[in-house]
């Protein structure tokens, strides 16, 4: 009998756990017509299934660990007055909703879905349109934001927040989302050990991606296209930037990536296509730029004199107006084994490496860097003359030299 009692107690607690995990339905034909009423009646571990329709419930607060699922994308309307969903419990899942018309505020960061200091939250397969901030994580960890479509229509930065915003977070996964029309598509500030993978951040009014004080993160296989300023990674270390596309970021002060005060980071396997600047680097140290393609940019790479111990190798430079530009005379960085389509050297020993070094900084690019209006002379006889002088007297330009230039473009 003594041996049977512990077994019976275990069975009781297991049965008790299953008994309280059930489905609550919301909709015209079900027991609940209001989502918040179902939330209030639910218990930890329950699933709330919301049927099709338009729900105007002001601010919906989720304060229990449960699953909230929309059937055929029910519409949650914030009526331009409210934050739509506020998550205030751990281990919450929100899937399958269309959220529209959150409030706009210059004092409070109002979002379509906002997570307040929580862990293990999943936000997936939702559509957000016309929200101030789209999805906002505050002091949260171990969360997943996946396959959401986040769109804003504001005409000024003051009327639009960021599409996916993370502040003081850790171990966040942002996967497969599409963000457009926001101020910054994705924003990280004080975020660590997190990954941004396979997202599309297009036509945002400022940055496609904005990093601030965020370390040990990676963004991989994303598309950043036609954003007003491109991508900015600032005051961070150990950032991995792999296999992304940076496309069509044109305009004054636009770039594929702007790096400022970055250390011990990697830019590998990316494509920089048709940007004003492919990469602009300021105060960036021990950064490896390898196996990237720079094609049809204004400037492929701008390296400020404050950059030290950076390595630029095995990249393709194709059809750029200027390949390399700098504002200093002494450059303490390594350039080697790149392919430069402007290289006019030869390979007598047939080892696929040019026999004479290549100086990628042209004299005319230095003039334009100091006097932008000189760009009017681009492709003129005068510009050609400057470049010929530089080849005869290479000491005129900064000592940036690729001593082992490839004769053919690399496969990247």
**pLDDT digits 0-9 by tens, 123-176:** 999 999 999 999 999 999 999 999 999 999 977 877 889 999 999 999 999 999
- Burial of 388 (C-beta count, 10 Å sphere; 0-12/13-18/19+): exposed
* Assigned domain for 223 exists: yes
Three-class SS of residue 312? strand
Out of 199, 228, 257, a domain closes at 228
- The domain of 43 spans 22-228
Q: Are residues 263 and 224 in the same domain?
A: no
Q: Is the pLDDT of residue 18 over 60?
A: no
CA–CA distance, 212 with 239 (Å, rounded to integer): 11
Above pLDDT 90, what percent of the chain? 75
Tens of pLDDT along 361-375?
A: 875 556 556 656 555
Instruction: Record the pTM.
Output: 0.88
* Assigned domain for 391 exists: no
Out of 228, 263, 293, a domain closes at 228
> Is 257 within 8 Å of 230 (Cβ atoms)?
yes
pLDDT for 16 equals: 44
Out of 228, 263, 290, a domain closes at 228
* Assigned domain for 392 exists: no
Phi, psi of 326 (to 5 degrees): -150, 160
* Assigned domain for 191 exists: yes
Q: Are residues 195 and 275 in the same domain?
A: no
Q: Are residues 219 and 327 in the same domain?
A: no
> Is 237 within 8 Å of 212 (Cβ atoms)?
no
Q: Is the pLDDT of residue 360 over 60?
A: yes
What does DSSP assign to residue 141? B
Domain at 58, CATH number: 2.160.20.10
Tens of pLDDT along 39-62?
A: 999 999 999 999 999 999 999 999
Q: CA torsion sign, 286 to 287 to 291 to 297?
A: negative
* Assigned domain for 384 exists: no
Q: Is the pLDDT of residue 115 over 60?
A: yes
pLDDT for 15 equals: 41
Q: Are residues 219 and 278 in the same domain?
A: no
Residue 333 vs residue 179, higher pLDDT: 179
* Assigned domain for 39 exists: yes
Domain tally, the chain: 2
* pLDDT band with cut points at 50, 70 and 90 for residue 382: low
pLDDT for 384 equals: 61
Tens of pLDDT along 297-329?
A: 999 999 988 999 999 999 999 999 899 988 876
* Assigned domain for 376 exists: no
Q: Are residues 73 and 127 in the same domain?
A: yes
Counting every residue written for the chain, the total comes to 412
- Residue whose structure tokens are 């571990």: 45
Read off the tokens for 344.
């006019």
Q: Are residues 193 and 142 in the same domain?
A: yes
* pLDDT band with cut points at 50, 70 and 90 for residue 412: confident
* Assigned domain for 372 exists: no
Q: CA torsion sign, 383 to 389 to 395 to 401?
A: positive
Q: Are residues 299 and 223 in the same domain?
A: no
CA–CA distance, 237 with 214 (Å, rounded to integer): 7
Read off the tokens for 259.
């790096």
Q: Are residues 78 and 48 in the same domain?
A: yes
- Residue whose structure tokens are 């934050």: 83
Q: Are residues 296 and 219 in the same domain?
A: no
Q: Are residues 53 and 146 in the same domain?
A: yes
Q: Are residues 355 and 280 in the same domain?
A: yes
Q: Are residues 347 and 298 in the same domain?
A: yes
157: number of CA atoms within 13 Å, CB side?
A: 8
CA proximity to 138, closest of 161, 115, 108: 115
């Amino acid at each position: 009998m003594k041996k049977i009692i512990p077994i019976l107690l275990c069975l009781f607690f297991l049965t008790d756990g299953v008994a309280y995990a059930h489905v609550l339905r919301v909709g015209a034909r079900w027991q609940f017509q209001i989502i918040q009423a179902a939330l209030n009646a639910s218990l930890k571990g329950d699933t709330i299934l919301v049927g099709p329709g338009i729900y105007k419930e002001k601010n919906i607060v989720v304060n229990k660990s449960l699953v909230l699922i929309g059937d055929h994308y029910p519409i949650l309307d914030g009526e331009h007055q409210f934050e739509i969903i506020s998550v205030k419990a751990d281990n919450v899942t929100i899937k399958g909703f269309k959220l529209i018309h959150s409030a706009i505020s210059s004092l409070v960061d109002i979002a379509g879905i906002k997570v307040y200091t929580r862990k293990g939250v999943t936000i997936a397969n939702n559509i957000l349109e016309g929200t101030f901030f789209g999805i906002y994580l505050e002091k949260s960890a171990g969360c997943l934001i996946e396959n959401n479509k986040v769109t804003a229509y504001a005409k000024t930065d003051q009327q639009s927040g960021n599409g996916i915003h993370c502040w003081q977070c850790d171990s966040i996964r942002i996967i497969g989302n599409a963000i457009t029309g926001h101020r910054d598509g994705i924003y990280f500030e004080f975020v660590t050990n997190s990954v941004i993978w396979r997202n599309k951040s297009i036509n945002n009014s400022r940055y496609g991606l904005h990093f601030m004080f965020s370390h040990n993160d990676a963004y991989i296989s994303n598309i950043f296209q036609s954003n007003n300023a491109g991508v900015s990674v600032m005051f961070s270390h150990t950032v991995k930037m792999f296999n992304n596309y940076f496309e069509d970021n044109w305009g004054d002060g636009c770039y594929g990536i702007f790096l400022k005060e970055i250390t011990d980071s990697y830019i590998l396997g990316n494509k920089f296509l048709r940007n004003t600047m492919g990469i602009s680097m300021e105060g960036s140290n021990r950064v490896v730029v390898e196996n990237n393609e720079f094609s049809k940019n204004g400037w492929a790479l701008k390296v400020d004199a404050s950059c030290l111990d950076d390595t630029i190798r095995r990249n393709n430079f194709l059809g750029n107006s200027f390949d390399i530009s700098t504002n200093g005379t002494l450059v303490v960085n390594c350039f080697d084994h790149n392919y430069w389509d402007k290289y006019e050297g030869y390979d007598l020993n047939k080892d696929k490496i040019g026999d004479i070094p290549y100086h990628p900084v042209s004299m005319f690019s230095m003039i334009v860097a100091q006097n932008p209006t000189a760009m009017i002379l681009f492709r003129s006889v005068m510009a050609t003359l400057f470049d010929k002088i530089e080849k005869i007297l290479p000491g005129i330009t900064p000592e940036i030299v690729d001593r082992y230039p490839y004769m053919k473009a690399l496969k990247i």
